[in-house]
Structure 1
Amino acid sequence: MLKCGLLGEKLGHSYSPQIHSMLADYEYKLFEKSPEELEDFLKSGEFDGLNVTIPYKKSVMPYCAELSPTAAQIGSVNTIVRRSDGSLYGDNTDAFGFENLIVHNGIEVKGKKALVLGTGGASVTAQAVLKNLGASEVVVISRRGEDNYENIAKHADAEIIANTTPVGMYPNNGKAAVDLTQFPKLSGVLDVVYNPARTALLLQAEKLGIPCAGGLYMLVSQAKRSCELFTGKSIPDSEIDRIERVLSHQMQNIVIIGMPGSGKTAVSTMLAERLGRKIFDTDTIVSEKAGVTIPEIFAAQGEAGFRKLETEATAEVGKLSGNIISTGGGVVTVAGNYELLHQNGVIVWIERDTNKLARDGRPISLSSDLNELYAARLPLYERFADIKADNNGDINDTVNAIMEMIK
Protein backbone atom coordinates (compact mmCIF):
# COMPACT_ATOMS: atom_id res chain seq x y z
CA MET A 1 0.00 0.00 0.00
CA LEU A 2 1.24 3.49 -0.86
CA LYS A 3 2.31 5.65 2.05
CA CYS A 4 1.22 9.25 1.57
CA GLY A 5 0.43 12.21 3.75
CA LEU A 6 0.37 15.93 4.44
CA LEU A 7 3.59 17.72 5.42
CA GLY A 8 3.51 20.91 7.43
CA GLU A 9 4.80 22.53 10.59
CA LYS A 10 1.54 22.83 12.53
CA LEU A 11 -1.36 20.95 11.00
CA GLY A 12 -4.11 20.78 13.60
CA HIS A 13 -7.35 19.52 12.08
CA SER A 14 -7.19 18.65 8.38
CA TYR A 15 -9.80 17.32 5.97
CA SER A 16 -7.09 15.91 3.70
CA PRO A 17 -7.06 12.37 5.17
CA GLN A 18 -10.83 12.08 4.71
CA ILE A 19 -10.71 13.43 1.16
CA HIS A 20 -7.92 11.09 0.10
CA SER A 21 -9.69 8.11 1.69
CA MET A 22 -12.62 8.83 -0.63
CA LEU A 23 -10.35 9.07 -3.67
CA ALA A 24 -8.24 5.90 -3.40
CA ASP A 25 -6.99 3.15 -1.12
CA TYR A 26 -3.68 4.26 0.37
CA GLU A 27 -2.33 5.31 3.73
CA TYR A 28 -2.54 9.05 4.34
CA LYS A 29 -1.00 10.53 7.49
CA LEU A 30 -0.28 13.97 8.90
CA PHE A 31 3.45 14.72 9.14
CA GLU A 32 4.15 17.62 11.47
CA LYS A 33 7.82 18.53 11.11
CA SER A 34 9.85 21.41 12.48
CA PRO A 35 12.16 23.30 10.08
CA GLU A 36 15.09 21.42 11.65
CA GLU A 37 13.48 18.08 10.84
CA LEU A 38 12.54 18.91 7.25
CA GLU A 39 15.74 17.92 5.43
CA ASP A 40 16.11 14.54 7.13
CA PHE A 41 12.44 13.73 6.55
CA LEU A 42 12.58 14.55 2.85
CA LYS A 43 15.80 12.61 2.34
CA SER A 44 15.02 9.52 4.38
CA GLY A 45 11.36 9.62 5.40
CA GLU A 46 9.16 6.67 4.52
CA PHE A 47 6.64 8.10 2.08
CA ASP A 48 5.61 7.62 -1.52
CA GLY A 49 3.72 10.86 -1.94
CA LEU A 50 3.21 14.09 -0.02
CA ASN A 51 1.03 17.12 -0.05
CA VAL A 52 2.87 20.12 1.32
CA THR A 53 1.36 23.04 3.19
CA ILE A 54 2.65 26.17 4.91
CA PRO A 55 5.40 27.02 5.58
CA TYR A 56 7.21 24.49 3.39
CA LYS A 57 5.91 25.01 -0.18
CA LYS A 58 9.11 26.80 -1.18
CA SER A 59 11.42 25.06 1.32
CA VAL A 60 10.93 21.63 -0.29
CA MET A 61 11.88 22.75 -3.79
CA PRO A 62 15.69 22.26 -3.49
CA TYR A 63 15.09 18.61 -2.54
CA CYS A 64 13.14 17.89 -5.73
CA ALA A 65 15.21 16.43 -8.57
CA GLU A 66 12.63 17.70 -11.05
CA LEU A 67 9.77 20.17 -11.02
CA SER A 68 6.67 20.23 -13.16
CA PRO A 69 6.38 23.23 -15.53
CA THR A 70 3.58 24.57 -13.30
CA ALA A 71 5.63 24.32 -10.10
CA ALA A 72 8.62 25.91 -11.81
CA GLN A 73 6.51 28.77 -13.16
CA ILE A 74 4.83 29.46 -9.83
CA GLY A 75 7.88 28.81 -7.66
CA SER A 76 5.94 26.70 -5.19
CA VAL A 77 5.47 22.96 -4.60
CA ASN A 78 2.51 21.46 -2.80
CA THR A 79 2.74 17.87 -4.10
CA ILE A 80 5.76 15.55 -4.02
CA VAL A 81 6.04 12.09 -5.55
CA ARG A 82 8.91 9.70 -4.83
CA ARG A 83 9.91 8.13 -8.13
CA SER A 84 11.13 4.58 -8.66
CA ASP A 85 14.78 5.68 -8.44
CA GLY A 86 14.12 7.32 -5.07
CA SER A 87 14.31 10.89 -6.35
CA LEU A 88 11.57 13.43 -5.65
CA TYR A 89 9.32 15.05 -8.24
CA GLY A 90 7.59 18.31 -7.28
CA ASP A 91 4.35 19.64 -8.69
CA ASN A 92 1.78 22.29 -7.83
CA THR A 93 -1.78 20.96 -7.77
CA ASP A 94 -3.10 24.13 -6.08
CA ALA A 95 -3.06 25.70 -9.54
CA PHE A 96 -5.35 22.95 -10.85
CA GLY A 97 -7.57 23.46 -7.81
CA PHE A 98 -7.81 27.24 -8.13
CA GLU A 99 -8.50 27.09 -11.85
CA ASN A 100 -11.19 24.46 -11.23
CA LEU A 101 -12.76 26.73 -8.60
CA ILE A 102 -13.03 29.55 -11.13
CA VAL A 103 -14.31 27.44 -14.03
CA HIS A 104 -16.75 25.37 -11.94
CA ASN A 105 -18.42 28.52 -10.65
CA GLY A 106 -18.67 30.11 -14.08
CA ILE A 107 -16.58 33.17 -13.21
CA GLU A 108 -15.16 34.72 -16.40
CA VAL A 109 -11.65 36.09 -15.97
CA LYS A 110 -10.46 36.76 -19.51
CA GLY A 111 -9.90 40.42 -20.26
CA LYS A 112 -10.68 41.53 -16.71
CA LYS A 113 -8.63 43.31 -14.06
CA ALA A 114 -8.06 41.15 -10.99
CA LEU A 115 -6.91 41.95 -7.47
CA VAL A 116 -5.20 39.24 -5.44
CA LEU A 117 -5.28 39.89 -1.70
CA GLY A 118 -2.16 38.57 0.04
CA THR A 119 1.41 37.68 -0.88
CA GLY A 120 1.87 34.10 0.35
CA GLY A 121 2.07 30.81 -1.54
CA ALA A 122 -1.63 30.78 -2.39
CA SER A 123 -1.29 34.30 -3.77
CA VAL A 124 1.48 33.29 -6.16
CA THR A 125 -0.67 30.41 -7.39
CA ALA A 126 -3.71 32.62 -7.86
CA GLN A 127 -1.68 35.18 -9.78
CA ALA A 128 -0.34 32.56 -12.18
CA VAL A 129 -3.76 31.01 -12.80
CA LEU A 130 -5.46 34.37 -13.37
CA LYS A 131 -2.77 35.36 -15.86
CA ASN A 132 -3.01 32.00 -17.64
CA LEU A 133 -6.78 32.45 -17.91
CA GLY A 134 -6.29 35.77 -19.65
CA ALA A 135 -6.82 38.42 -16.98
CA SER A 136 -5.91 41.79 -18.48
CA GLU A 137 -4.11 42.87 -15.31
CA VAL A 138 -3.31 41.14 -12.01
CA VAL A 139 -2.53 43.40 -9.05
CA VAL A 140 -1.28 42.05 -5.72
CA ILE A 141 -2.55 43.87 -2.65
CA SER A 142 -0.34 43.60 0.44
CA ARG A 143 -0.13 45.33 3.78
CA ARG A 144 3.05 47.29 3.07
CA GLY A 145 3.76 47.04 -0.68
CA GLU A 146 3.27 49.59 -3.43
CA ASP A 147 -0.34 48.44 -3.82
CA ASN A 148 -1.78 48.15 -0.33
CA TYR A 149 -5.00 48.40 1.64
CA GLU A 150 -4.46 52.11 2.30
CA ASN A 151 -4.40 53.07 -1.39
CA ILE A 152 -6.63 50.28 -2.73
CA ALA A 153 -9.15 52.89 -3.91
CA LYS A 154 -6.98 53.48 -6.97
CA HIS A 155 -8.01 49.98 -8.07
CA ALA A 156 -11.76 50.63 -7.84
CA ASP A 157 -12.03 49.43 -11.45
CA ALA A 158 -11.19 45.83 -10.43
CA GLU A 159 -13.58 43.23 -11.79
CA ILE A 160 -12.28 40.13 -9.98
CA ILE A 161 -11.11 39.83 -6.37
CA ALA A 162 -9.35 36.75 -5.01
CA ASN A 163 -8.64 36.54 -1.29
CA THR A 164 -5.63 34.33 -0.52
CA THR A 165 -5.15 35.55 3.06
CA PRO A 166 -6.49 33.81 6.19
CA VAL A 167 -8.63 36.85 7.02
CA GLY A 168 -12.10 35.64 8.00
CA MET A 169 -11.01 32.03 8.56
CA TYR A 170 -12.28 30.11 11.60
CA PRO A 171 -12.06 30.98 14.47
CA ASN A 172 -11.71 34.62 13.40
CA ASN A 173 -15.00 34.64 11.51
CA GLY A 174 -16.69 37.86 10.50
CA LYS A 175 -13.66 39.75 9.20
CA ALA A 176 -12.93 40.79 5.62
CA ALA A 177 -9.80 42.31 4.12
CA VAL A 178 -11.75 44.74 1.91
CA ASP A 179 -15.18 46.34 1.53
CA LEU A 180 -16.63 45.21 -1.79
CA THR A 181 -18.74 48.35 -2.19
CA GLN A 182 -15.48 50.07 -3.18
CA PHE A 183 -15.49 48.09 -6.45
CA PRO A 184 -18.59 48.86 -8.54
CA LYS A 185 -17.43 46.78 -11.53
CA LEU A 186 -16.95 43.51 -9.66
CA SER A 187 -18.17 40.39 -11.48
CA GLY A 188 -16.54 37.70 -9.36
CA VAL A 189 -15.21 37.15 -5.83
CA LEU A 190 -13.11 34.14 -4.82
CA ASP A 191 -11.90 33.15 -1.36
CA VAL A 192 -9.51 30.26 -0.76
CA VAL A 193 -10.81 29.95 2.82
CA TYR A 194 -13.26 27.04 3.20
CA ASN A 195 -14.11 27.29 6.91
CA PRO A 196 -16.50 29.00 7.26
CA ALA A 197 -18.21 28.04 4.03
CA ARG A 198 -19.14 31.69 3.53
CA THR A 199 -16.60 34.18 4.85
CA ALA A 200 -17.61 37.76 5.56
CA LEU A 201 -16.21 38.61 2.12
CA LEU A 202 -18.45 36.05 0.42
CA LEU A 203 -21.47 37.03 2.50
CA GLN A 204 -21.07 40.61 1.29
CA ALA A 205 -20.66 39.42 -2.30
CA GLU A 206 -23.90 37.43 -1.98
CA LYS A 207 -25.68 40.48 -0.58
CA LEU A 208 -24.46 42.59 -3.50
CA GLY A 209 -25.45 39.93 -6.03
CA ILE A 210 -21.87 39.26 -7.15
CA PRO A 211 -20.99 35.68 -8.24
CA CYS A 212 -18.69 34.20 -5.60
CA ALA A 213 -17.14 30.97 -4.36
CA GLY A 214 -15.30 29.65 -1.31
CA GLY A 215 -12.28 27.37 -1.17
CA LEU A 216 -13.76 23.92 -0.55
CA TYR A 217 -14.00 23.04 -4.24
CA MET A 218 -10.38 24.09 -4.67
CA LEU A 219 -9.32 21.89 -1.75
CA VAL A 220 -10.99 18.81 -3.18
CA SER A 221 -9.81 19.53 -6.72
CA GLN A 222 -6.16 19.80 -5.75
CA ALA A 223 -6.47 16.59 -3.71
CA LYS A 224 -7.89 14.77 -6.73
CA ARG A 225 -4.98 15.89 -8.90
CA SER A 226 -2.51 14.92 -6.16
CA CYS A 227 -4.08 11.48 -5.94
CA GLU A 228 -3.59 11.03 -9.69
CA LEU A 229 0.09 11.84 -9.28
CA PHE A 230 0.45 9.48 -6.31
CA THR A 231 -1.23 6.53 -8.02
CA GLY A 232 -0.54 7.19 -11.69
CA LYS A 233 -4.24 6.66 -12.38
CA SER A 234 -6.77 9.06 -13.85
CA ILE A 235 -9.79 10.02 -11.73
CA PRO A 236 -12.96 11.49 -13.29
CA ASP A 237 -13.74 15.08 -12.35
CA SER A 238 -17.17 13.91 -11.20
CA GLU A 239 -15.42 12.64 -8.06
CA ILE A 240 -14.63 16.24 -7.14
CA ASP A 241 -18.33 17.09 -7.20
CA ARG A 242 -19.24 13.99 -5.19
CA ILE A 243 -16.68 14.55 -2.46
CA GLU A 244 -17.35 18.29 -2.27
CA ARG A 245 -21.05 17.54 -1.70
CA VAL A 246 -20.25 15.04 1.05
CA LEU A 247 -17.93 17.45 2.85
CA SER A 248 -20.26 20.41 2.43
CA HIS A 249 -23.15 18.42 3.90
CA GLN A 250 -20.95 17.20 6.75
CA MET A 251 -19.60 20.66 7.58
CA GLN A 252 -22.81 22.68 7.36
CA ASN A 253 -24.90 23.45 10.41
CA ILE A 254 -28.63 22.79 10.30
CA VAL A 255 -30.22 25.89 11.81
CA ILE A 256 -33.79 25.76 13.06
CA ILE A 257 -35.88 28.94 13.16
CA GLY A 258 -39.58 29.55 13.69
CA MET A 259 -42.24 31.04 15.93
CA PRO A 260 -42.03 30.53 19.70
CA GLY A 261 -43.72 27.24 20.54
CA SER A 262 -43.50 25.84 17.01
CA GLY A 263 -41.55 22.76 18.15
CA LYS A 264 -38.03 23.88 17.26
CA THR A 265 -36.38 22.22 20.26
CA ALA A 266 -38.13 18.89 19.70
CA VAL A 267 -37.32 18.88 15.99
CA SER A 268 -33.70 19.86 16.67
CA THR A 269 -33.31 17.13 19.28
CA MET A 270 -34.64 14.43 16.96
CA LEU A 271 -32.48 15.68 14.08
CA ALA A 272 -29.40 15.55 16.30
CA GLU A 273 -30.22 11.98 17.34
CA ARG A 274 -30.89 10.83 13.77
CA LEU A 275 -27.77 12.46 12.30
CA GLY A 276 -25.41 11.89 15.21
CA ARG A 277 -24.70 15.58 15.60
CA LYS A 278 -24.27 17.90 18.55
CA ILE A 279 -27.11 20.26 19.34
CA PHE A 280 -26.78 23.87 20.50
CA ASP A 281 -29.79 25.82 21.77
CA THR A 282 -29.23 29.58 21.78
CA ASP A 283 -31.84 30.16 24.52
CA THR A 284 -30.11 27.60 26.73
CA ILE A 285 -26.71 29.22 26.13
CA VAL A 286 -28.08 32.66 26.97
CA SER A 287 -29.75 31.40 30.15
CA GLU A 288 -26.67 29.48 31.31
CA LYS A 289 -24.33 32.41 30.74
CA ALA A 290 -26.67 34.86 32.45
CA GLY A 291 -27.32 32.46 35.30
CA VAL A 292 -31.06 33.15 35.21
CA THR A 293 -34.09 32.09 33.16
CA ILE A 294 -35.19 33.77 29.93
CA PRO A 295 -38.25 35.38 31.61
CA GLU A 296 -35.94 36.77 34.31
CA ILE A 297 -33.64 38.27 31.67
CA PHE A 298 -36.65 39.96 30.02
CA ALA A 299 -37.82 41.26 33.37
CA ALA A 300 -34.42 42.69 34.29
CA GLN A 301 -33.03 43.83 30.94
CA GLY A 302 -36.01 44.02 28.61
CA GLU A 303 -36.12 42.59 25.10
CA ALA A 304 -33.17 44.74 23.94
CA GLY A 305 -30.95 43.26 26.66
CA PHE A 306 -32.01 39.75 25.76
CA ARG A 307 -31.44 40.29 22.03
CA LYS A 308 -27.89 41.45 22.72
CA LEU A 309 -27.17 38.25 24.66
CA GLU A 310 -28.90 36.19 21.98
CA THR A 311 -26.72 37.66 19.23
CA GLU A 312 -23.59 36.86 21.25
CA ALA A 313 -24.75 33.24 21.57
CA THR A 314 -25.63 33.13 17.88
CA ALA A 315 -22.15 34.35 16.95
CA GLU A 316 -20.57 31.73 19.20
CA VAL A 317 -22.39 28.72 17.71
CA GLY A 318 -22.76 30.04 14.17
CA LYS A 319 -19.01 29.85 13.55
CA LEU A 320 -18.93 26.14 14.43
CA SER A 321 -19.46 23.41 11.83
CA GLY A 322 -21.60 20.30 11.47
CA ASN A 323 -24.06 20.91 14.30
CA ILE A 324 -27.77 21.39 14.89
CA ILE A 325 -28.59 24.91 16.08
CA SER A 326 -31.96 25.60 17.66
CA THR A 327 -32.76 29.31 17.90
CA GLY A 328 -35.25 31.47 19.75
CA GLY A 329 -38.36 32.62 17.93
CA GLY A 330 -37.17 36.22 17.69
CA VAL A 331 -33.65 35.61 16.42
CA VAL A 332 -34.85 36.88 13.03
CA THR A 333 -35.65 40.32 14.45
CA VAL A 334 -31.94 41.21 14.47
CA ALA A 335 -30.83 41.49 10.85
CA GLY A 336 -27.17 40.78 11.64
CA ASN A 337 -28.03 37.33 12.98
CA TYR A 338 -28.64 36.18 9.41
CA GLU A 339 -24.96 36.32 8.45
CA LEU A 340 -23.99 34.61 11.72
CA LEU A 341 -26.29 31.67 10.96
CA HIS A 342 -25.88 31.60 7.18
CA GLN A 343 -22.05 31.58 7.16
CA ASN A 344 -21.93 27.86 7.88
CA GLY A 345 -25.54 26.76 7.83
CA VAL A 346 -28.67 25.81 5.98
CA ILE A 347 -31.56 27.59 7.70
CA VAL A 348 -34.80 25.63 8.17
CA TRP A 349 -38.03 27.43 9.03
CA ILE A 350 -40.37 25.31 11.15
CA GLU A 351 -43.98 26.31 10.45
CA ARG A 352 -46.92 25.63 12.76
CA ASP A 353 -50.41 27.14 12.86
CA THR A 354 -50.69 29.93 15.43
CA ASN A 355 -53.53 28.17 17.26
CA LYS A 356 -51.13 25.27 17.97
CA LEU A 357 -48.22 27.34 19.30
CA ALA A 358 -47.20 26.74 22.92
CA ARG A 359 -46.97 29.87 25.11
CA ASP A 360 -45.62 28.68 28.49
CA GLY A 361 -42.35 30.32 29.57
CA ARG A 362 -42.23 32.52 26.47
CA PRO A 363 -42.40 36.21 27.52
CA ILE A 364 -43.27 37.69 24.12
CA SER A 365 -45.85 35.00 23.31
CA LEU A 366 -47.57 35.57 26.66
CA SER A 367 -47.79 39.33 26.11
CA SER A 368 -48.66 39.36 22.41
CA ASP A 369 -51.43 38.45 20.02
CA LEU A 370 -49.84 35.51 18.23
CA ASN A 371 -51.51 36.26 14.91
CA GLU A 372 -50.16 39.82 14.98
CA LEU A 373 -46.72 38.56 16.06
CA TYR A 374 -46.68 36.04 13.23
CA ALA A 375 -47.73 38.67 10.68
CA ALA A 376 -44.90 40.95 11.83
CA ARG A 377 -42.29 38.22 11.72
CA LEU A 378 -43.42 36.45 8.54
CA PRO A 379 -41.22 38.49 6.15
CA LEU A 380 -38.27 38.02 8.50
CA TYR A 381 -38.61 34.23 8.55
CA GLU A 382 -38.94 34.29 4.76
CA ARG A 383 -35.74 36.33 4.45
CA PHE A 384 -33.72 34.00 6.71
CA ALA A 385 -35.01 30.63 5.53
CA ASP A 386 -33.40 28.40 2.92
CA ILE A 387 -36.14 25.77 3.28
CA LYS A 388 -39.47 25.41 5.10
CA ALA A 389 -40.88 22.41 6.97
CA ASP A 390 -44.47 21.99 8.17
CA ASN A 391 -44.72 20.89 11.81
CA ASN A 392 -48.47 20.65 12.26
CA GLY A 393 -48.52 16.85 12.19
CA ASP A 394 -46.27 14.02 13.39
CA ILE A 395 -42.78 15.25 14.32
CA ASN A 396 -41.28 12.20 12.59
CA ASP A 397 -42.76 13.42 9.31
CA THR A 398 -41.26 16.86 9.91
CA VAL A 399 -37.79 15.48 10.60
CA ASN A 400 -37.97 13.09 7.65
CA ALA A 401 -38.94 15.98 5.37
CA ILE A 402 -36.01 18.08 6.58
CA MET A 403 -33.54 15.25 6.12
CA GLU A 404 -34.79 14.71 2.59
CA MET A 405 -34.53 18.39 1.71
CA ILE A 406 -30.95 18.82 2.96
CA LYS A 407 -29.52 15.75 1.21
Structure 2
Amino acid sequence: MKNIVLIGMPGVGKSTIGVILAKELGYQFVDADLLIQEQEKRLLKEIISEEGIEGFIAIENQVNASIEADRTVIATGGSVVYGKEAMEHLGEIATVIYLKLSYKALRKRLGNLKNRGVVLRDGQTLKDLYEERVVLYEKYADITIDEENKNLEETLQSIIDTL
Protein backbone atom coordinates (compact mmCIF):
# COMPACT_ATOMS: atom_id res chain seq x y z
CA MET A 1 0.00 0.00 0.00
CA LYS A 2 1.27 3.49 -0.81
CA ASN A 3 1.08 6.55 1.41
CA ILE A 4 -2.16 7.90 2.89
CA VAL A 5 -3.03 11.60 2.91
CA LEU A 6 -5.74 12.96 5.21
CA ILE A 7 -7.53 16.12 4.07
CA GLY A 8 -10.45 18.03 5.56
CA MET A 9 -11.50 21.09 7.48
CA PRO A 10 -9.65 22.23 10.61
CA GLY A 11 -11.04 20.40 13.63
CA VAL A 12 -11.79 17.05 11.95
CA GLY A 13 -8.85 15.41 13.74
CA LYS A 14 -6.47 14.80 10.82
CA SER A 15 -3.35 14.76 13.00
CA THR A 16 -4.84 12.74 15.86
CA ILE A 17 -6.34 10.19 13.48
CA GLY A 18 -3.15 10.21 11.39
CA VAL A 19 -0.88 9.37 14.33
CA ILE A 20 -3.06 6.44 15.43
CA LEU A 21 -3.66 5.20 11.86
CA ALA A 22 0.07 5.25 11.15
CA LYS A 23 0.75 3.22 14.29
CA GLU A 24 -2.00 0.71 13.36
CA LEU A 25 -0.58 0.26 9.85
CA GLY A 26 3.09 0.30 10.87
CA TYR A 27 3.59 3.52 8.84
CA GLN A 28 5.49 6.72 9.54
CA PHE A 29 3.50 9.88 10.34
CA VAL A 30 4.04 13.38 8.95
CA ASP A 31 2.12 16.52 9.92
CA ALA A 32 2.41 18.86 6.92
CA ASP A 33 1.69 21.92 9.06
CA LEU A 34 4.72 21.09 11.20
CA LEU A 35 6.85 20.76 8.04
CA ILE A 36 5.74 24.26 7.02
CA GLN A 37 6.56 25.67 10.48
CA GLU A 38 9.97 23.93 10.51
CA GLN A 39 10.85 25.26 7.04
CA GLU A 40 9.65 28.80 7.80
CA LYS A 41 10.79 28.85 11.46
CA ARG A 42 7.45 30.52 12.30
CA LEU A 43 4.00 29.47 13.50
CA LEU A 44 1.25 29.16 10.88
CA LYS A 45 -0.58 32.22 12.27
CA GLU A 46 2.68 34.21 12.05
CA ILE A 47 3.19 33.20 8.42
CA ILE A 48 -0.41 34.20 7.59
CA SER A 49 0.01 37.51 9.46
CA GLU A 50 3.37 38.35 7.83
CA GLU A 51 2.90 36.93 4.31
CA GLY A 52 -0.85 37.33 3.90
CA ILE A 53 -3.19 34.55 2.87
CA GLU A 54 -1.88 34.20 -0.69
CA GLY A 55 1.72 34.12 0.57
CA PHE A 56 0.84 31.41 3.09
CA ILE A 57 -0.99 29.35 0.45
CA ALA A 58 2.06 29.58 -1.85
CA ILE A 59 4.34 28.33 0.96
CA GLU A 60 1.90 25.56 1.89
CA ASN A 61 1.61 24.52 -1.75
CA GLN A 62 5.40 24.38 -2.20
CA VAL A 63 6.01 22.39 1.01
CA ASN A 64 3.25 19.85 0.30
CA ALA A 65 4.26 19.49 -3.36
CA SER A 66 7.76 18.52 -2.23
CA ILE A 67 6.87 15.86 0.37
CA GLU A 68 8.73 12.62 -0.30
CA ALA A 69 7.39 9.69 1.68
CA ASP A 70 7.09 5.92 1.71
CA ARG A 71 4.54 4.03 3.80
CA THR A 72 3.56 7.26 5.55
CA VAL A 73 0.32 8.81 6.78
CA ILE A 74 0.39 12.53 5.99
CA ALA A 75 -1.98 14.92 7.79
CA THR A 76 -2.37 18.14 5.81
CA GLY A 77 -3.56 21.58 6.75
CA GLY A 78 -7.15 22.34 5.80
CA SER A 79 -6.12 24.86 3.14
CA VAL A 80 -3.82 22.47 1.24
CA VAL A 81 -6.64 22.02 -1.31
CA TYR A 82 -5.98 25.55 -2.60
CA GLY A 83 -2.62 24.34 -3.94
CA LYS A 84 -3.07 22.57 -7.28
CA GLU A 85 0.55 21.36 -7.46
CA ALA A 86 0.43 20.06 -3.89
CA MET A 87 -2.82 18.17 -4.44
CA GLU A 88 -1.66 16.66 -7.74
CA HIS A 89 1.60 15.55 -6.10
CA LEU A 90 -0.16 14.09 -3.05
CA GLY A 91 -2.64 12.32 -5.34
CA GLU A 92 0.27 10.70 -7.20
CA ILE A 93 2.11 9.46 -4.11
CA ALA A 94 -0.85 8.56 -1.88
CA THR A 95 -4.44 7.54 -1.41
CA VAL A 96 -6.20 10.79 -0.45
CA ILE A 97 -8.84 10.41 2.26
CA TYR A 98 -11.29 13.24 2.93
CA LEU A 99 -12.48 13.32 6.54
CA LYS A 100 -15.95 14.79 6.11
CA LEU A 101 -17.94 16.50 8.81
CA SER A 102 -21.14 18.54 8.57
CA TYR A 103 -20.91 22.29 9.02
CA LYS A 104 -22.99 22.07 12.21
CA ALA A 105 -20.72 19.44 13.81
CA LEU A 106 -17.59 21.29 12.69
CA ARG A 107 -18.77 24.58 14.19
CA LYS A 108 -19.24 22.82 17.54
CA ARG A 109 -15.67 21.42 17.46
CA LEU A 110 -13.75 24.54 16.48
CA GLY A 111 -12.43 27.13 18.89
CA ASN A 112 -10.73 30.39 17.92
CA LEU A 113 -9.88 30.14 14.21
CA LYS A 114 -7.24 32.91 14.31
CA ASN A 115 -5.24 31.07 16.97
CA ARG A 116 -5.38 27.91 14.86
CA GLY A 117 -3.73 29.57 11.86
CA VAL A 118 -6.79 29.06 9.66
CA VAL A 119 -6.83 30.69 6.22
CA LEU A 120 -9.90 32.90 6.53
CA ARG A 121 -10.18 35.90 4.18
CA ASP A 122 -11.53 39.26 5.39
CA GLY A 123 -15.30 39.09 5.65
CA GLN A 124 -15.35 35.32 5.07
CA THR A 125 -17.40 33.33 7.57
CA LEU A 126 -16.74 29.77 8.65
CA LYS A 127 -19.82 28.77 6.62
CA ASP A 128 -18.36 30.46 3.49
CA LEU A 129 -15.05 28.70 4.07
CA TYR A 130 -16.75 25.35 4.58
CA GLU A 131 -18.79 25.63 1.37
CA GLU A 132 -15.75 26.76 -0.63
CA ARG A 133 -13.52 23.92 0.57
CA VAL A 134 -15.96 20.98 0.54
CA VAL A 135 -16.06 21.14 -3.26
CA LEU A 136 -12.25 20.95 -3.39
CA TYR A 137 -12.00 18.15 -0.83
CA GLU A 138 -14.50 16.11 -2.82
CA LYS A 139 -12.63 16.83 -6.07
CA TYR A 140 -9.28 15.55 -4.79
CA ALA A 141 -10.42 12.69 -2.51
CA ASP A 142 -9.98 9.06 -3.51
CA ILE A 143 -12.02 8.03 -0.45
CA THR A 144 -14.47 10.01 1.70
CA ILE A 145 -14.99 9.02 5.33
CA ASP A 146 -18.03 10.59 6.95
CA GLU A 147 -17.19 11.39 10.58
CA GLU A 148 -20.73 12.48 11.46
CA ASN A 149 -21.78 11.01 14.83
CA LYS A 150 -18.61 8.88 14.97
CA ASN A 151 -16.04 8.89 17.72
CA LEU A 152 -12.31 8.59 17.03
CA GLU A 153 -12.30 4.78 17.16
CA GLU A 154 -15.27 4.51 14.77
CA THR A 155 -13.65 6.92 12.30
CA LEU A 156 -10.40 4.95 12.43
CA GLN A 157 -12.25 1.66 11.89
CA SER A 158 -14.08 3.16 8.91
CA ILE A 159 -10.73 4.17 7.36
CA ILE A 160 -9.15 0.77 7.97
CA ASP A 161 -12.21 -1.08 6.63
CA THR A 162 -12.24 1.11 3.51
CA LEU A 163 -8.53 0.63 2.83
Aligned-pair distance for 1:366?
9.3
Please state if 1:341 is matched with 2:96.
no
Aligned to 1:373: 129
Higher helix share: 2
Aligned to 1:394: 151
Distance 1:391 1:373, change over 3 A: same
Aligned to 1:356: 108
Aligned-pair distance for 1:365?
5.2
Query: Which aligned pairs between 1:177-188 and structure 2 lie closer than 5 A?
Result: none
Query: Which aligned pairs between 1:252-401 and structure 2 lie closer than 5 A?
Result: 252-317=2-67, 319-354=68-103, 355-360=107-112, 361-364=116-119, 368-392=124-148, 393-401=150-158
Provide the rounded CA distance (Å) in 2 between the counterparts of 1:365 and 1:401. 30
**CA deviation string 1:98-139 (max 9, x = no partner):** xxxxxxxxxxxxxxxxxxxxxxxxxxxxxxxxxxxxxxxxxx
Runs of 4+ in 1 over 6 A off after TM superposition: none
Aligned-pair distance for 1:336?
2.0
Partner SS for 1:324: strand
Alignment RMSD (CA, Å): 1.7
The answer to whether the Cα contact below 8 Å between 2:60 and 2:83 also exists between their aligned partners in 1 is: no
Provide the rounded CA distance (Å) in 1 between the counterparts of 2:102 and 2:111. 13
Provide the rounded CA distance (Å) in 1 between the counterparts of 2:118 and 2:156. 27
* Unaligned segments of structure 2, at least 5 residues: none
Partner SS for 1:260: coil
The answer to whether the Cα contact below 8 Å between 1:254 and 1:323 also exists between their aligned partners in 2 is: yes
Partner SS for 1:389: strand
Aligned-pair distance for 1:283?
0.7
Provide the rounded CA distance (Å) in 2 between the counterparts of 1:363 and 1:324. 22
Amino acid in structure 1 at the alignment position of 2:145? A
Provide the rounded CA distance (Å) in 1 between the counterparts of 2:35 and 2:83. 18
Aligned-pair distance for 1:306?
1.2
The answer to whether the Cα contact below 8 Å between 2:99 and 2:144 also exists between their aligned partners in 1 is: yes
- TM-score, normalised by the number of residues in structure 2: 0.87
Amino acid in structure 2 at the alignment position of 1:314? N
The answer to whether the Cα contact below 8 Å between 1:260 and 1:357 also exists between their aligned partners in 2 is: no
Count of residues in Structure 1 that have an aligned counterpart in Structure 2: 155
Aligned-pair distance for 1:377?
1.3
* Unaligned segments of structure 1, at least 5 residues: 1-248
Amino acid in structure 2 at the alignment position of 1:363? V
The answer to whether the Cα contact below 8 Å between 1:255 and 1:327 also exists between their aligned partners in 2 is: yes
Partner SS for 2:66: helix
Provide the rounded CA distance (Å) in 1 between the counterparts of 2:108 and 2:14. 13
Provide the rounded CA distance (Å) in 1 between the counterparts of 2:118 and 2:8. 16
Provide the rounded CA distance (Å) in 1 between the counterparts of 2:17 and 2:57. 23
Aligned to 1:22: none
Provide the rounded CA distance (Å) in 2 between the counterparts of 1:302 and 1:357. 26
Aligned-pair distance for 1:262?
1.5
Amino acid in structure 2 at the alignment position of 1:399? L
Query: Which aligned pairs between 1:44-63 and structure 2 lie closer than 5 A?
Result: none
Provide the rounded CA distance (Å) in 2 between the counterparts of 1:268 and 1:366. 28
Provide the rounded CA distance (Å) in 1 between the counterparts of 2:78 and 2:111. 12
Partner SS for 1:363: coil
Partner SS for 2:21: helix
Provide the rounded CA distance (Å) in 1 between the counterparts of 2:80 and 2:65. 12
Distance 1:315 1:336, change over 3 A: closer
Partner SS for 2:119: helix
**CA deviation string 1:58-98 (max 9, x = no partner):** xxxxxxxxxxxxxxxxxxxxxxxxxxxxxxxxxxxxxxxxx
Aligned-pair distance for 1:329?
0.5
Query: Which aligned pairs between 1:8-407 and structure 2 lie closer than 5 A?
Result: 249=1, 252-317=2-67, 319-354=68-103, 355-360=107-112, 361-364=116-119, 368-392=124-148, 393-406=150-163
